[in-house]
Amino acid sequence: MPEAIVLINTDIGSEEEVLNLLSNIEGVSEAYVVYGVYDLVIKINAPTTEELKDIISNRIRKISKVRSTLTMIVVEGKVRK
């Protein structure tokens, strides 16, 4: 199953609003407001790479208060116990 981690910058002060909108998007499995260069970090899972691309391009990037994204496609992982 394709997986990605997306770093998001939002308009100043809109982190919580964007977090709430992200929680309604199917495929977003985790979402966090963070301090630092980025405002939010999210994890996305999708059945196919095409659907992963659609979630990022057509759902997340079209949220009006999202200023920019940086997407990292997961190529290998390890389960934490």
The CATH number of residue 56's host domain is 3.30.70.920
Assigned domain for 41 exists: yes
What single-letter amino acid sits at 79? V
Identify the helix (H) or strand (E) that includes residue 19. helix 15-22
The answer to whether residue 79 is domain-embedded is no
Q: Is residue 23 part of a domain?
A: yes
9 lies in some domain: yes
Angle, CA 15 vertex, CA 61 and CA 28 arms, to 5°: 50
Domain count, the chain: 1
For residue 46, give its domain range.
Answer: 3-73
Q: Is 55 helix (H, G, I), strand (E, B) or coil?
A: helix
Tens-level pLDDT at each residue, the chain (81 residues): 899 999 999 999 999 999 999 999 999 999 999 999 999 999 999 999 999 999 999 999 999 999 999 999 999 887 777
Taking the C-alpha atoms of residue 46 and residue 62, their distance in angstroms, rounded to an integer, is 18
**pTM for this one?**
0.91
